[in-house]
Amino acid sequence: MSQVYSVAVVVGSLRKESYNRKVALALAELAPANLKLKIVEIGDLPLYNEDIDVDPPAAYKTFREQLRNSDAVLFVTPEYNRSVPGVLKNAIDVGSRPYGLSSWSGKPGAVISVSPGAVGGFGANHHLRQSLVFLDVPCMQQPEAYIGGAASLFDENGKLTEKTRPFLQTFIDKYAAWVERHQG
């Protein structure tokens, strides 16, 4: 039996009916047997502050532990003002500290951006990739995943449309191979 890798999924949107969360859940359903995707919540993380990190709040400790216990990381994010949402940037900062003890380091990653607009979150996707270079997260390059027109991804019952399924299947299958290749 092949190894099963745990993937921390970080969703950059807090909205209850977030298209990004729906895509993350769809990817979890489509994932091959060697990946187990689990959303790691970021909405309750206090803003990163080195002063409070002397005695880290429970939310920091829990988040960092969830990252450390994962084999890989997958980011699913909208675009706000040509960048990532502040809540996602905060999570990146919390996970990267204390300096020299980053919880992100070495975990194979991928980015998928989802937007109602036509550009598909291109700016957020590439801005996030810049941070991942510094965080030592080897980021999957292909297939690139910028999904525009997010409202059309799901039917009236909230289920993934058959038109969207093949792209997401290809993405998650390639990501599984990426994770496998970058382990050990």
pLDDT in tens, 3-28: 999 999 999 999 998 999 999 999 99
CA distance 9 to 27: 10
Q: Model pTM?
A: 0.96
Q: What is the CATH number of the domain that holds 59?
A: 3.40.50.360
- Average pLDDT of the segment spanning 31-56: 97
Range of the domain at 27: 5-178
Taking alpha carbons only, the member of 74, 63, 93, 89 closest to residue 140 is: 74
pLDDT tens per residue, range 70-103? 999 999 999 999 999 999 999 999 999 999 999 9
In a domain, 106, yes or no: yes
Is the confidence at residue 1, as pLDDT, over 70? no
Q: What value does the mean pLDDT of the chain take?
A: 94
Taking 3-state DSSP, the helix, strand and coil percentages for the chain, each rounded to the nearest 5, stand at 40, 15, 45
User: Is 40 inside a domain boundary?
Assistant: yes
Please report, as a single letter, which amino acid is at residue 78.
Answer: P
Strand order in the sheet with 35-39: 35-39, 5-11, 72-77, 109-114, 146-147
